[in-house]
Amino acid sequence: MPNAGKSAIKTTVEDSALVERRRAQLTRAAIACFSERGYHPTTIRDVAERADVSIGLIYQYVGDKEDLLFMALQEVLDTYKRQIPLALDGIADPLQRFWVAVQAYARVNGSTVDATVLAYRETKSLRKDRRNAIMQMERDTNELIAACVRDCIDAKLFEAIDVDMFVYQIVMFCHAWALKAWHFAKTMDVDTYVERGLRLMLRGVLTRAGTKRMASLEAGGRPSG
Partner DNA sequence: TATGAATGAGGTTTCATTCAT
Partner DNA sequence: AATGAATGAAACCTCATTCAT
- Subset of 125-164 contacting its own copies (CB under 8 A): 125, 135, 139, 159, 161-162
Question: Can residue 182 be called a binding residue for its own copies (CB under 8 A)?
Answer: yes
- Of 131 and 150, CB closest to DNA: 131
- Under a CB-based contact definition with an 8 Å cutoff, are residues 50 and 29 in contact? yes
- Of 110 and 197, CB closest to its own copies: 197
Q: Please, what is the Cα angle at 115 between 109 and 120, to 5 degrees?
A: 95
- Subset of 57-76 contacting DNA (CB under 7 A): 57, 59-61, 64-65
- The closest of 3, 32, 1, 25 to 137, measured between CA atoms, is 3
- Of 41 and 225, CB closest to DNA: 41
Among 3, 5, 9, 53, the residue binding DNA under the rule CB under 7 A is 53
- The closest of 126, 124, 106, 122 to 189, measured between CA atoms, is 106
Stretch that binds DNA, among 53-61, 72-80, 96-104, 214-222 (CB under 7 A): 53-61
Stretch that binds DNA, among 12-20, 28-36, 106-114, 152-160 (CB under 7 A): 12-20
- Under a CB-based contact definition with an 8 Å cutoff, are residues 158 and 149 in contact? yes
Binding site for its own copies (CB under 8 A): 38-41, 117, 120-122, 124-125, 135, 139, 159, 161-162, 165-166, 168-169, 172-173, 175-176, 179-180, 182-184, 196-197, 199-205
Binding site for DNA (CB under 7 A): 12-15, 18, 22, 41-45, 53-57, 59-61, 64-65
